[in-house]
Structure 1
Amino acid sequence: MAKSESIRLVGYARVSTVGQETNLQIDALEKAGVSVIYQEKTSSVGARPELQKLLDSLTKGDCLVVYKMDRIARSLKDLMAILERVQAVGANIRSLTEPLDTSVPVGIFMVQVLGAVAQLERSIIRERSVAGQLAAYRRGVQLGRKKHATPPETIEKMRALYATGEHTYPSVAKLFGVHASTAKRLITGKSSRQKMPVLGQYLDAL
């Protein structure tokens, strides 16, 4: 029987401050058979150049190994983005202290669960945002940036120029000294409510 091709194990270790050490993570990674290890000392919210180098180096069949997932991802959203990038090149990711290994069925299932949780999290945030906007609307609060009143005759002139077909929104905006998005809004007559279709669905149901 032919010997199976060995998997290249690539490790990543990170600590948040310069005063901390990656020794514990390095020892665990080396014990797991990892010979190539990228490490850096930076907070999860800072730039992580070594992580980017590692991700750029991954090829099909490689396995990215970490001591814990919080060493590589700052949030669930960040983790899902990294997982997607790893899987896009045909590589896998494994945690030494958590049940996450995308090279086995259980690990793939865990990724699917994490993806579902991330989707739920986005939906909850979206619902809360809409609820807040709806409450503000009911109190009479103007949504979006405060707009300066534009004289009706000015709006008509802008629409007339645009209707000739010789002007674009930016060119009309330049003539009247306003932003292109403002010119478009005035010419088309679209309100802030129309620019928020999700909230609009709730308002239409009232």
Structure 2
Amino acid sequence: MENFPAIPVALFARVSTNRQDAQRQIDDLQAYADRQGYRVVATELEAISGATKTTKRPHLQALLAAGAAGTIQKVLVTEISRLGRNTLEVLQVLERFTEVGVSVYVANYNLETLTAGRSPAAKKKNPMAQLMFTMLAEFARLERETLVERTISGMQAAKRKGKHIGRPRGSTKTKDQLLKEYPGVVRDLREGLSLRKIAKIREVSVDTVQKVKKLLAV
């Protein structure tokens, strides 16, 4: 019986801030890799928002480069939201890995994007996984939008009660400081997106988007 070398894989974990601990993600993925007899050749940890563009996520880019170079054949993640929060971004990431023959395994659903195969040419898209990932990514996006809407609603309710929301009074930023702090909002405004949509995408209040819009008009 022919013996194949252990499949080289990478572990990928993401948290939104440096204050969060991703060790459990790493431990769970390492345990799975050990059970499968995989050879872990890379571990990438991102402390960044999943809403960040793929091109601005160096750890994810490193895995894509490793896949293109043939260094890894699989990427293991605990859940699909680790890849991103935006539906389109998640699907683009999955497609990028598929293009270089790297299968993405999502632990909590026990699904892979590609069917079994020892080489990129021998692998094919897993239709069931593709359908499931599309649905899950959309659900994750809707949940995130709901959270943003609840946050905005809570802030508006607090304002109606006379509570001060935001920075302490007297700490107003200059025009340049504010525009530099919200470059994504600036880009979205210039692309013609609505104020409410921008607020949802960038996780800021509509008032903040309105303030940036006014500054751009000056």
TM-score of the aligned structures, taking structure 1 as reference length: 0.50
RMSD: 2.8
Determine the structure 2 residue equivalent to 1:5. 5
* Residue 53 (1) aligns with residue 53 (2): no
Q: Quick one: which amino acid aligns to residue 48 of structure 1? A: R
Offset at 1:79?
1.7
Is 1:44 the equivalent of 2:50?
yes
How far does the alpha carbon of each residue in 1:125-165 deviate from its partner, in whole angstroms, 9 at most, with x for none?
Answer: xxxxxxxxxxxxxxxxxxxxxxxxxxxxxxxxxxxxxxxxx
Identical columns (%): 28
- Counterpart amino acid of 1:21? D
After superposition, the Cα gap between the structure-2 partners of 1:75 and 1:100, relative to the gap in structure 1 and judged at 3 Å, is: farther
SS state at 2:19 partner: coil
Letter in 2 for 1:109: P
Shift of 1:116: 7.0
Contact 1:63 1:92 in 2 (8 A): yes
Deviation at residue 112 of structure 1 after TM alignment: 3.7
Contact 1:11 1:65 in 2 (8 A): yes
Amino acid corresponding to residue 42 of structure 1 in structure 2:
I
Give the structure 2 partner of residue 32 of structure 1: 32
Is residue 70 from structure 1 mapped to residue 81 from structure 2 by the alignment? yes
What is the distance in 2 between the residues matched to 1:57 and 1:85?
Answer: 12
Note the 1:77-88 alignment, pairs <5 A. 77-88=88-99
Is the contact made by 2:87 and 2:134 (CA closer than 8 Å) also made in structure 1?
no
Q: Higher helix fraction: Structure 1 or Structure 2?
A: 2
Structure 2 residue runs of 5 or longer lacking an equivalent are 34-39, 117-124, 139-218
Cα gap change, 1:73/1:100 in structure 2, threshold over 3 Å: closer, same or farther? farther
1:101 and 1:116 map into 2 onto residues whose CA distance is 13
Residues 84-103 of structure 1: pairs in structure 2 closer than 5 A: 84-103=95-114
**Across the two proteins, how many residue pairs are aligned to each other?**
119
Q: Per the alignment, do residues 17 and 85 of structure 1 end up closer, same or farther by CA in structure 2, a change over 3 Å counting?
A: same
Q: Is the 8 A contact 1:76 1:114 kept in 2?
A: no
Do residues 110 (structure 1) and 128 (structure 2) align? yes
Q: d(CA) in 2 for partners of 1:116 and 1:11?
A: 22
- Based on CA coordinates, which of the two structures has the bigger radius of gyration? 1
- Structure 1 residue runs of 5 or longer lacking an equivalent are 121-206
Partner of 2:11, secondary structure, is strand
The 8 Å contact of residues 113 and 130 in structure 2, kept in 1 or not, is answered as no
Structure 1 counterpart of 2:115, one-letter code: V
Residues 45-194 of structure 1 aligned to structure 2 (within 5 Å):
45-46=51-52, 47-59=56-68, 60=70, 62-104=73-115, 108-113=126-131
Residues 9 and 73 of structure 2 are in contact (CA less than 8 Å); yes or no, is this contact kept in structure 1? Answer: yes
